[in-house]
Amino acid sequence: MSACIRDEYYRLLKEWLDALLACMVDDPAHPSVDGAILCPACTAIHGRCHEAVYPLMAMAEFSGETKYLDAARKLFRWSSCMLCDDGSMYNDSQSAWNGTTVFGAISLFQTLRHHGQLLEAGERKEWEDRLFRMAGWLQDGISPEKKFNINYIAANAAAMALIGCCYSRAAMTAQARKLAGFACRCVTEQGLVHGEGSLEKNATVRGGSAVDIGYNVEETLPSLFEYARAMQDEDVMAVVRKAAKAHLDLMLPDGAWDNSFGSRNFKWTYWGSRTADGCQAMLNALGKTDPVFAEAAYRNLMLYRRCTDGLLYGGPHYRRHGEPACVHHAFCHAKVLAQALDEGIVEFEPTALPADDPEMLKHYPETGTYRLRCGGWRMTVCAGDFPYMKGGHASGGAVTLLWHRAYGPVFAAANTDFSMREPMNQQLTRKKKLLGSLCPRLERQENGTTRSQVYDLGTEIAAEAFDDRVVIRAAGTLCDISHRPSAEWEAFTLEYTLTEQGLSVKGGLASGAGTGVSLILPVIRNGGETAVSGRSALIGGRLRITSTTAIDYEGPVFNPAPGFEAENLRIHPGRDGLFDVMISVEEGSG
C-alpha cells in the first residue's frame, strides 16, 4: 500500500505545482512581478507565494525536470520584492503584516536542508544569507508579549529550533524553548489548543477560550512537532502526541476537520484552513509509530484530491458553484506534501479513526461545544461565547455540523455572516445574490434588523446520552449581530434528539405565536434534485425533512467557508410559535 500512497502524494503535488507554474508571471521588464504567481481567483499576487520554493525544489529532485528548479530560482528572485530592510517579509505588497515571515523562513530552511545541493555554491550562500536575515528578525519579532495568535508562537518555536540547531545559534534555541513552553501551556485539559484570538485561557465571562481546529491541526501542532523533533524535547513531543490524538476526535470519517465552531472558521475549507500549511507532514511522521495518524493523513489527502482540479479549491462545491481556485491553498499545502515525500510516506494497514465510532456525547467546555454520535450520524452543537469578530462562529446552541455516513455533510456552518475579515486571505464570490449563511437557526427580521439564536452568547445547554439517543436542550435569547437582545428579551428553547433514524428538532419562542420567527435550515445538497411540497422536503433525492408546519423553499445559497452550496428552507411556526421537524435519510439511499 505504501508505494500506492506515495504515488498519490506525488501525483497530487505535481498537479498542484504544474497548475502554479501555469500562473507564474513571465515579464522580465517588470521585476516587481516577474516570477511571481498570479492568482486567477483573486486577480492578485499573494505575497507568500514565494513559499512554493520548497515544493518546487523538491519536485525538481523527485522528477529530474529542470522546469521546477528554474521556477524556484525565479520565484526566489521575485521574493526580494517582499523583503524589508529589517529582515521581515510583507504578507502582501500593500500589507504591513509581516508575521508570516516565519512561514517563509521555515520553507526556505526546508529547501536548503533537503535540496540545497541543487543550487550552485554562490546561490546557496545567497539563500542562506536571506534565511539568516529573516531569522534575525524572528528572534525578537514574534512572541506572546506582542500578542500574536498561538499559531505564530508555535511556528516561531519551530523556526528558531530548526535554524538554531542546524546552524548552532544558541540564542535561537533558547528562544525556541521559551516559545514552545508557552505554547504547551495553551493546551487545554481536553487536548485542544487555545490562542486563536486571545492567549488567555479564560478569555470570556463564561470561561471560554479562543480555539480554532483548522489552525491547530494545520499549523500550531505541526509546528510544535517540528520544534520537539529538532530539539529532541520528549516532554513537548508527549504534549504534541496527546493533543494530536485529541484532535483526531474532530476529524470526520471522510477526512474533513470539524471546524464549525472554530474562532477563525471564516477561513474553514472543510479539508482544513485557507492559508495554513496542512497536517500531512506531522500525521505521516506520527504515523510511523501509530497507524491511526497515518490513516488520518490518508483520508485527509483523499479529500484534497476530491477538491482538486489542477489547483486545490477552497471547499467541496467551489467548482460546482463556478468559483475559481485561489492559489494560496496549493502553494501552502504543497509544502507539507513535499515534506512528507522527503521524509518517506509511512506504511500502514487501513485502520479505524476515532470518528468512525466516537463517544455518543462529548463536551468541550472551553468552546461551549458538544459533539454527538448516534448510528451513522455525527453532530456538533455550539454555545461558545468567544467573539473573534462580528458575525463570527455561530453560538446560541446552533447545530453547526450535521453529517451522515450515507449522505455526507447536511449542515456545515462557519461564520454566521460573511465578511472579508482578511481580504487577501479570503475569496470574494461574484455571485452575491446566492451568498448566504449556512447556519441552521431561529431567526426574525424586523425593520432591517436580524435577531437570531446564533448571535446569543448566553445560551444555556443541557445534554444527556441514552442507549439509543442523545438529547440536547438549549435555552437562550434572540439577539442581534452585536449580541444584544431586544427590549422584549425574546426567549427560545430548542430540544434536539439524535437517534439512528435522524435528528428531531422541537421548540421555538417562549413568547408564542405572532412573533414572526422562522426556523432556517440551509441543507447541503450533495447531488440529486430538490423537491419541496407543503410540510415535506426531499434534498438531493435522499435527505428528507418533515415538519408539522409549512416549509418554504427559498432557493440555493453558497458560502465560501467551508465551501458548500445549500438549499435554503424556511419553516414557519405553528399557532403556538413552536416547531417540530425531523431530518432523516431515505431508506436505501447511499
pLDDT at residue number 268: 98
Q: Sorting pLDDT into bands at 50, 70 and 90, what band is 516?
A: confident
Q: Which of 154, 108, 17, 111 is nearest to 342 (CA)?
A: 111
pLDDT at residue number 513: 54
Q: CATH number of the domain at 2-355, out of 1.20.1740.10, 2.20.25.160, 3.40.640.10, 1.50.10.20?
A: 1.50.10.20
Alpha helices in 23-149 (DSSP H): 53-63, 66-79, 101-115, 121-141
Please compute the mean of the pLDDT values over residues 260-287 and round it to a whole number.
98
pLDDT at 527 over 60: yes
Q: Which tens digits make up the pLDDT trace of 333-392?
A: 999 999 999 999 988 899 999 999 999 999 999 999 999 999 999 999 999 999 999 999
pLDDT at residue number 510: 81
* Distance from C-alpha of 251 to C-alpha of 558, rounded to nearest angstrom: 23
* Distance from C-alpha of 498 to C-alpha of 493, rounded to nearest angstrom: 17
Assess contact for 112 and 124: CB atoms under 8 A.
Answer: yes
pLDDT at 560 over 60: yes
pLDDT at residue number 486: 86
Q: Which tens digits make up the pLDDT trace of 84-117?
A: 999 999 999 999 999 999 999 999 999 999 999 9
Half-sphere exposure (CA, 13 Å, Cβ side) for 501? 9
* Distance from C-alpha of 351 to C-alpha of 272, rounded to nearest angstrom: 22
* Distance from C-alpha of 59 to C-alpha of 14, rounded to nearest angstrom: 7
Burial 97-132 (b: 16+ CB within 10 A, else e): ebbbbbbbbbbbbbbbebbbebbeeeeeeebbebbe
Task: Give the helix/strand (H/E) hosting 475.
Answer: strand 470-477
pLDDT at 514 over 60: no
Q: Which tens digits make up the pLDDT trace of 432-451?
A: 999 999 999 999 998 889 99
pLDDT at residue number 447: 87
Only one residue has cell 500525521, namely 283
Please compute the mean of the pLDDT values over residues 57-82 and round it to a whole number.
98
* Distance from C-alpha of 139 to C-alpha of 135, rounded to nearest angstrom: 6
User: Which amino acid makes up residue 515?
Assistant: T
Identify the residue with better confidence: 240 or 3. 240
User: What φ, ψ does residue 379 adopt, rounded to 5°?
Assistant: -150, 145
pLDDT at residue number 346: 85
* Distance from C-alpha of 271 to C-alpha of 314, rounded to nearest angstrom: 8
In the chain, the percentage of residues whose pLDDT exceeds 90 is 95
Q: Which tens digits make up the pLDDT trace of 162-178?
A: 999 999 999 999 999 99
Q: ω before 562 within 30° of 0 (cis)?
A: yes
pLDDT at residue number 588: 63
pLDDT at 512 over 80: no
| pTM of this structure | 0.97
User: Which amino acid makes up residue 111?
Assistant: T
What CATH number does the domain located at 359-585 have?
2.70.98.70
Only one residue has cell 447511499, namely 590
Burial 210-243 (b: 16+ CB within 10 A, else e): bbbbbbbbbbbbbbbbbbbbbbebeebbebbbeb
* Distance from C-alpha of 430 to C-alpha of 440, rounded to nearest angstrom: 24
Task: Give the helix/strand (H/E) hosting 524.
Answer: strand 518-524
* Distance from C-alpha of 511 to C-alpha of 184, rounded to nearest angstrom: 47
Determine how β-strand 536-539 pairs with β-strand 491-499: unpaired
Tell me the three state secondary structure of residue 173. Answer: helix
What end-to-end distance do the CA atoms of the chain give, in Å?
27
Percent of the chain as helix, strand, coil, to the nearest 5? 40, 25, 40
pLDDT at 517 over 90: yes
Q: Which three cell numbers stand for residue 579?
A: 416547531
As a whole number, the mean pLDDT across the chain is 96
In the chain, the percentage of residues whose pLDDT exceeds 70 is 98
Determine how β-strand 460-465 pairs with β-strand 502-509: unpaired
Burial 302-334 (b: 16+ CB within 10 A, else e): ebbeebbeebbbbbbbbeebebbbbbbbbbbbb
Q: Which of 271, 249, 459, 493 is nearest to 373 (CA)?
A: 249
Spatial neighbors of 154 by CB under 8 A, at least 6 apart, are: 179, 180, 183, 219, 220, 221, 223, 224, 227
* Distance from C-alpha of 271 to C-alpha of 573, rounded to nearest angstrom: 36
Q: Which tens digits make up the pLDDT trace of 462-499?
A: 999 999 999 999 999 999 999 999 888 899 999 999 99
DSSP string over 268-301? B-SSSBTTS--SHHHHHHHTTT-HHHHHHHHHHH
pLDDT at 295 over 80: yes
Show me where the domains of the chain are located.
2-355, 359-585
* Distance from C-alpha of 374 to C-alpha of 470, rounded to nearest angstrom: 7
pLDDT at 1 over 70: no
Count of CB atoms within 10 A of residue 202's CB? 12
